[in-house]
Structure 1
């Protein structure tokens, strides 16, 4: 054999890799075969009609399991752990039991199970009983490759599954977020598996995987705490565009008991109808409105006074003292309408007592003068029970004493009497939260009385607001609606949990996840807490990317009104998405934004230096269109995003039909292969513009281009 022949032979690593791929393909085939068997069995079981409540509950569990298995087509297996004791475990999107679940080891362990945690946390320094970690790259039912990571110290990396992670980060962006259970890193896994008691605030700069962590945390919590599935989880995002971007992640992870919303869509039947100034939005976002709304609502409860009612032509007066006692009892700890309902019941009782007392007084007077006649009537009635029944006579008609049944029937008649109801409704009317908010915000005297903290200038700016709901008014409506309560009791029954929860403003969730949480006003935080009284909340965001009109610049300031000091902070410090070449530009921007934080550490380079072009004002649209065409050609199969100041969006969208052209605020949370940043100076000049520029710079995974506007010198 010649030397040339030897150089063409495959090396041992290549042979070993091919063998490993073949082995994992066999395992994947076996897992899919078993999964398909489970799906057929579930379909057969689900075809049997439910006969009782227990069967219905079992059907819901089977439907959930079927959904998990169906969505696991991609990533059914993505990892493997080889232990020091030579045992082998495969990990995937969902657990797949062996043919005999009682005897056989699972074919696949759910990534959320405790047994899978070492896949994300084992290191060479702390191998946790593991000898090797293997990442398995698949496309549906085909194994594409494997990446082995010995845990004996022979390799040095602070990333888990570096090869698989960098391969995933280098893939083209599709405009939709993908699940990342296969490539989660240790600090991310720590957040995902953190306890669910109390608020957890996760600070993470651009590209640290905040959203990925938040969504995988939802999946983990629902898997670990079954009670959450019964209550549902609310996922709050900054925009509907963002919610659409993440829409497929949770179903892909096997979770469907989720309601996705923005703060603007949390109140059913209410929608944002107009834009508002940042100054007014900041005023209406302050925590002081919660106290103001509470005191204003309390003032709407009528004051005690004599209440005059008519029953069957007779007038009755309930004195102010009894009304005062009834009000005190009804309003204790209840909403306006709940107290109103309890008070009405108490008035029905008081009126019933008054009517009974009068009847018995009249009968007593009659008996005093007509003893002989009544004795004869009583004797006659005793001889004919049928007669009494036929005439509808009550106990008092027979023997002068009202029975308990008589009194209850009388009370029921009073409770549905239209005349009594009309008097009570006029004295204590049912109220609508939107009408009351319009009245409060449109009346200078009411604002002076109930929101005395506002200055004359601030009140005037509120009074000048046009008709139509603004974003900052949604939390005010929600606060009033909660304090007023629903005038009708009960709610929708049946249907999917997510549909029922989304339709009800007063639904209480088991957990709430908030993405881009730095944007929430103090009143929006109040909205969140009403929906999760347990405070089981995960808030992820980057305080340095805050662009909302509120004034807080630290997490302590942001959540103090909601949580006080009873919250926990976690930090994500590694940037996976944005390349080093781009992150190098961010430190000066952060300083100009007033931040004292360091940008996250980027762990990858794209090999493409950020570039800049200059253009005159008149040529912006044409030059932007040309550059986007070049970027799209370079990143075929991926995505290109254009970020620009608000005032330039209309012209750029007209010049770039079909392209994604967004403000820095709307780009938050999104990512593209390449970003064209148009007029960075214009973004920096906007309110909290340096924060916005920090967002705009860090949206790309590969390439950043900037188009600067220069003034023509004559």
Structure 2
């Protein structure tokens, strides 16, 4: 219709003019920042300020895409543009562009016709670089709503875009239930349950960006993002910088202990055994057993032997071990207490010796004075008295003695022989590879389980990393001085065993073992964490089948839950396959509701084993032509991974576990029965069939 066309043309021109204005202002700000950063550093405070300016420079540079993504018009005729990052006006007035995370921008994500929140219109603005390519308007004065969706046209347009193998931001199309989680309070653990395609990862990443913007305390300590695999982290790595945030450490549980890495694989049986919560108490007891027993202790200073009594040693151990401190911290306090004991012993012996000498010396001096008096009244008297030769050391003498004791190498060597400094990895190996020690420490293990653990080869398996982390935390490491006023540095945080983050986000959280949860919890003692996942997609060998079982060892009942109920990624045609798979997986959850259709029914073919690789290669080639600007992925049963990777180099050919969090336009699932036959196989098949946004092919081997 001509009116609609004219209105659209006018809207595009209007938004293009504004985008040009905002981009000019952005470029002016970039020039100002570069000028300030070229000036010489004045002092430490200036250095901190410059780091913040550099972060702002990066954010404004990244904002060349999505500088303006939306607009809201209010009932009082005010207009606000929403963007990936806030852009201030030159005169310091109301921002030219509101940061999407600002409270004033929230109605853009939450207003509906039923609850307009003071808005009369919402406009989604689609851009390519500095060019406006589309607008979608919603009149919020009319009754009704687009099936519960915010900005339905913009959302469905974004969902239909080709997948490039890298996740993009969804800041323009966040939905109400997603926005509520993004902005939820961060004062306690939050668990987000959502089926495939509900936007769990999108919510997690945008929540990080929001918290870093809204809570300076979290920004100072940074955010830890834990993903299920390196492949997943590469897939999402550009999202947070695109949102203007860099105060994030992204890693996996296997790499969370600095200086440690997985060196070998392990069986599911051993992974389950070593992931149980009982290991925390076992390790606590084992580390505590490294404390030496109280006994008489002989120390040598200046060639003299001094015996510290058993009672004094016991008191030193008792006071040093009180409280919640690491073994090394307790060891340092015990050494200091024994230094004091040695100083006391030296002072006591010296005082006794001087007192003995003084008594004899005073008698001699008295006789001399009498003789002098008899022989010559003019003679000078000695003037000696007990107050001047009193057999006591001065405070300065004692302080000098204390310094000598603390720096004496023989004293230090004797204390280190008495209580050697433990090496965390050696301590763990001593526990895991000695049956009597392990049996005493881990009383919850059966004799057969103890034997299985002890028989494992040397080298760290994935389940050993949390155990090593627990040992390291209990033993302790050297303190790292941190300037809380300094900007967050990811390299500093990731290399520090004791670094605690402002917030932790865990993706695919259902896969964590109890010991992995303990490891994560220590990284955020405040409990400010967000865990996203789908309990029905659990593939790990751990025994939990619900969130209560997964979280109780580390969090108890101190957590709250939020649910994502709408599937945005996987089309209705594919989600129709899900209910019987979930039934076989033993799920009691309702699958998410799909909101879009691809118009393509899933296909199934059966092929003889000899023809499997050729058929899959042909199907992939056909889809690569069809989705030339998108992506194709293959999820296969373990037995077929190597042959398929050999003929499909460069293509993602992954197991169901490796496919977690990933998506492609088209997906080939190879040997569904083989996937289902694996441990927790029906959960794995649920993952496999829900990776596509358009087309699905299941290849059966018959």
Return the TM-score normalized by structure 2: 0.95
In 2, Cα distance between the equivalents of 1:280 and 1:263? 17
Question: Are the counterparts in 2 of residues 331 and 339 from structure 1 also a CA contact under 8 Å?
Answer: yes
Q: Which residue of 2 aligns with 1:121?
A: 110
Task: String of CA shifts for 1:586-623, please: whole Å, max 9, x gaps.
Answer: 11000000001111000000111111111100111111
Alpha-carbon distance in structure 2 between the residues aligned to 1:525 and 1:303: 33
1:385-534 mapped onto 2 (5 Å cutoff): 400-486=391-477, 488-490=478-480, 497-534=489-526
Q: Distance in 1 between matches of 2:694 and 2:463?
A: 37
Distance verdict in 2 for CA 1:330–1:397, change over 3 Å: farther
Paired residue secondary structure (1:183) = coil
- 1:538 aligns with 530
8 Å CA contact 1:149–1:155 kept in 2: the answer is no
Tell me, yes or no, if structure 1 residue 208 matches structure 2 residue 213: no
1:255 aligned counterpart, secondary structure: coil
Task: Name 2:372's counterpart in structure 1.
Answer: none
**Which runs of 5 or more structure 2 residues have no equivalent in the other structure?**
369-386
Deviation at 1:330, TM superposition (A): 0.5
Q: Distance in 2 between matches of 1:474 and 1:294?
A: 16
Query: Which residue in the other structure is 1:112 paired with?
Result: 101
Q: Does 1:554 align with 2:546?
A: yes
1:367 aligns with 2:358: yes
Residues 661-698 of structure 1 show CA distances to partners (whole Å, capped at 9, x for unaligned) of 00000000000010011100000000100000000000
3-state DSSP class of the match of 1:538? strand
Aligned equivalents of 1:492, 1:126: Cα separation in 2: 47
1:636 aligns with 2:636: no
| Structure 2 residue matching 1:208: 3-state secondary structure | coil
Q: Within 5 Å, give how 1:164-313 maps onto structure 2.
A: 164-313=154-303
Q: Matched residues in 2 for 1:704 and 1:397: separation?
A: 99
Residue 75 of structure 1 pairs with residue 72 of structure 2: no
1:138 corresponds to 2:127: yes
User: Which one is further off, 496-505 or 176-185?
Assistant: 496-505
**Cα separation, 2, equivalents of 1:30 and 1:588:** 54
Alignment of 1:620-659 (within 5 A): 620-659=612-651
Supply the distance in 1 between the matched residues of 2:115 and 2:481 (Cα, whole angstroms).
52
Which 4+ residue blocks in structure 1 deviate beyond 3 angstroms? 372-377, 396-401, 488-496
* Partner of residue 7, structure 1: none
Q: Distance in 2 between matches of 1:708 and 1:427?
A: 66
Specify every segment of 5 or more residues in structure 1 that has no aligned partner in the other structure, as ranges.
1-9, 378-395
Q: How many angstroms does 1:531 deviate by?
A: 0.4
Q: Is the 8 A contact 2:219 2:488 kept in 1?
A: no
In 2: Cα distance, 1:327 partner to 1:105 partner: 62
Shift of 1:399: 7.1
CA distance in 1, matches of 2:641, 2:362: 95
Match of 1:55 among 36, 46, 52: 46
Partner of 2:568: 576
| Contact preservation (8 Å) 1:492, 1:500 | no
* Equivalent position of 2:381 in the other structure: none
Contact 2:521–2:527, Cα closer than 8 Å, also in 1:
yes
Q: Tell me the distance in 1 between the aligned counterparts of 2:491 and 2:35.
A: 26
Q: 1:621 to 1:402 in 2, by over 3 A?
A: same
What SS does the corresponding residue of 2:657 show, helix, strand or coil?
A: helix
CA drift of 1:329 comes to 0.4
User: How far apart in 2 are the matches of 1:156 and 1:214?
Assistant: 26
Query: Cα deviations across residues 421-449 of structure 1 (Å, max 9, x unaligned)?
Result: 11111110100111111111111101111
Could you tell me whether the CA contact under 8 Å between 1:587 and 1:599 is conserved in 2? Answer: yes
Q: Are 1:191 and 1:217, in contact at CA under 8 Å, matched by a contact in 2? A: yes
Q: Which one of the candidate residues 656, 666, 690 is aligned to 1:698?
A: 690
Quick one: structure 1 residues 124 and 402, their matched pair in 2 at CA, closer, same or farther if it must change by over 3 Å?
same
1:4 aligned residue: none
